[in-house]
Structure 1
């Protein structure tokens, strides 16, 4: 059993802490947000993540997982301090490291024993060296035996526990091989490839991985735009591409583009780092431009179908940036709603998990209790997030209750022929330019 402190109880920190506890370690999760910690102590999860509530509950009950707002309590006798705090985007896309600095300084102030500081947050290349400098300067001549290890996370919201327990790989970077080996031992029971490299390479692996996945999504969305003009079906195109072993099928689903807490922030941060050091990240800029344009294209299609959006009622199904999460950060649905409201539309929406979060940032949005309530009297219906419960809706019922039977399937979830047989004017992403309707 190792004694682990995890600083930050967001998606990464809470999942990391709970999973390490489940592997038999003694874990204390720390957060400066007292309300969040009080909820966790009461068994109330601050985020929606399948399986997380049960995992936290069983490890708290077993005495392996505790929560606190006290740095001194969390760090007491800790062998490892995982920094898993937020690194939001700054004005120019740079990562804001103020919370990383606070964590590093607190470690420097309180620890008087050998410790390994593990950067779990997604941080700019060079941050590992910077954290070491912050700790050394803060000690002001007082010696401390410590090492910094970069251990980037590759957790997908909605499947984060599975991703932790069955990872494709664990990446570790450090200038101290012994420290990296000690962190590696925490993961040995997962029986996955463990890659040990230097600090900056490990940090770059995280950014390069996310930027490449974002590029694949933007690429297939650009192909979808061309498919629409040429009458091809992007789903079949993607399937044909994915059967090539050199390409593979993952991240080739055309739709509204990527969002969430990672891709937007990380692509912007990588582009910012490139510019700052004299490079010209033309591909990354194009990837971001294509992603932004996907949301606008949906609004353009709706405007063309309805003639105007002013005083129209538009229903939106799905608010989270992807299924199985309540996270609305950089969610495509929110940008679409914002554009629709700016053109005078009244927007109503339903999401299985994300409505409380959306209500806090979209005061004009009308929230409904069912998809059918969203469709009642609507001039158009937009599918923005492909939750499973949207796959088998009663479309005959939806057709009857809509004022104008226009559907914008922005996730290519439904079958065009079925929609058109019912009588909908149906639009999708990259599936030819036929619209149907009675």
Structure 2
């Protein structure tokens, strides 16, 4: 891919006499550098007295060039380094050494996060190379110190009013702690294995992920109405369809919103002929109201007869600090109350929420549990531009098994040059 791309890029840059005189100057003239330095400290405590902790210092650094005839370049570097001595081994996968939940020695992760060529012509943007993605079921998955990144081609077109058409052709990805790209089919295989599916004798084809997305804003004035549809396909692995909508409006001095969603997944081809085959769905909604700094939401979701397969991030209906909706035959009932202090308040910059969910699996009461999350974020930009801190605490009560608490602290410093 690289050897074929470079001559094309050079030809495009030289195509215009106005730009050909000094293309290097144009590349650097409108370039930008931004990033964030971040400190994470995660700790989990079990009722049996077991304690686990991960602490990471690092950051994300992004470089973008200016345009030359619609062509530009981008790159990013990511770093996560263990800094706290601890008798316990890592649990979260904040840094390298294994996947989240594995008790392994922690190692620093330093890697190229992005390196791509971007072209933009006639309301169309195309990126080729390593890049972060922000789609519904293939995203940066921002749960750990370093987000996911992908390698392939992405495209977006906005020629039609109110409609954005997106496409993906993705071969490889790196997860939170990877230092080398691996095929997306291995990601699916790994997620099924983590769900307890025996994948030892199942060899998935090295198929790329193909995706098509449609985002449409309905041309109505009485309310705000947006819809989103995404279709993802991996030959001989699985297909999935995702739909959601966002409706909002004003009512007696408050703002209401309603967000229904539906996800359908099916194994296909070679995988569908093995014991790892699956066929499931997830359907649910958010219903909320905003007023005077408050934001109250109720949530409900139900999942079909198979676990949701989501190795590359997701837009599930209920996502909490420790758990997410997605187990087979599961119903989740949740509520969240958030508050943001006013700009003229002494606590300007402070926002907080409490989030509660009850997870129930039909016919298996022993697997039921509840999770209660608390979060406080303080944006300190009025003291130091780009600085913010956050504290989170989760309490998980299981019907059977050790209950736990999960406490997380974050410090971010964002900058732009």
TM > 0.5 fold call:
no
| TM-score, normalisation: structure 1 | 0.28
| TM-score, normalisation: structure 2 | 0.29
Whichever structure has more helix as a proportion of its residues is 1
Whichever structure has more strand as a proportion of its residues is 2
